[in-house]
Amino acid sequence: MSKSECRNKSEVRNPNQQQRVPWVIRNSGFFRISDFGIRISLILFCAIGFSFFLDANCWAEDAPITPTSRIDLFNGKDFMGWTFTLRSNAEPANTFTVTNGVIHCTGRPPGYARTEKSYRDYKLTAEWRFVKIAPKADNSGIFIHIKAPDKVWPACIEVQGQHGRQGDLRMNGGATCKGHETAETKNADAQAPSNEKPPGEWNTFEVECSGDAIKLWTNGKLMNEIAGCTASGGAIGIQSEGGEIEVRKMVVEPLKR
């Protein structure tokens, strides 16, 4: 075999043999990234970006649950199924605790505990009380229809718990309802005289959420009704806003048709 034939034969590649391509090849001042490197980089970029998206939005993207039977949001033992958002990323255990089957909230700092799951078309019953009140330490509430992102305060509708204002419904974080579309009108005042109990005694909130309409009873008395709400479902929460409170019951049930 001649040298020329040998050289030509050595230059013939096996079609099944993969060509090795370096990660980056320098050529006349330009860089060429291999196809393999591009694919790996894109996969890693997408995976990291998707994980951040899930952390911030996954809970809100879940389809809201419509109860078909009673669901105890609080199991009487711990905060399984709940998550927390507090100002300055404060430690939740310093604000929310469970003792003897009762949730205790110090009211400091501002923030909330909310369910990890979202709900719609339900009746919510919450039994709660002020442990004590003082000037600027007499406020709390129950959040419904909470939407992402978690922040202080989130987009939601607040069942007002402030002493002397129970029966009000308040639009937070950009949420609105018919007749309450602006910052000046975001509070839907109670439509009946107060029916709340003194600090230390248990209050019962019953809230019916049906489509874009909400009805509120305080201790058995119809206090408020709103409709045309921008949200018809979302997470449910307990507000921390100055007042020291306890909660012993939070359940959702199917609406009576």
| pLDDT computed for residue 62 by the predictor | 79
- 119 and 187: one domain? yes
Cα–Cα distance for residue pair 220/227, rounded to 1 Å: 21
Q: Kindly tell me if the per-residue pLDDT of 5 is higher than 90.
A: no
- 77 and 130: one domain? yes
Answer whether residue 224 is part of any domain: yes
Q: What confidence tens digit (pLDDT) does each residue in 171-224 have?
A: 999 999 999 999 999 999 999 999 999 999 999 999 999 999 999 999 999 999
Residue 230: name the closest of 156, 122, 139 by CA.
156
Enter the pTM of the model: 0.79
- 118 and 28: one domain? no
Question: Is the bond leading into 153 cis (omega within 30 degrees of zero)?
Answer: yes
Q: How many domains does the chain have?
A: 2
Answer whether residue 12 is part of any domain: no
Answer whether residue 228 is part of any domain: yes
Give the CA angle between residues 95, 201, 237 to the nearest 5°. 40
pLDDT average, residue stretch 86-91: 97
Q: Are 224 and 205 in contact (CB under 8 A)?
A: no
Domain membership of residue 28 as a residue range: 24-57
CATH, residue 185: 2.60.120.560
| pLDDT computed for residue 31 by the predictor | 38
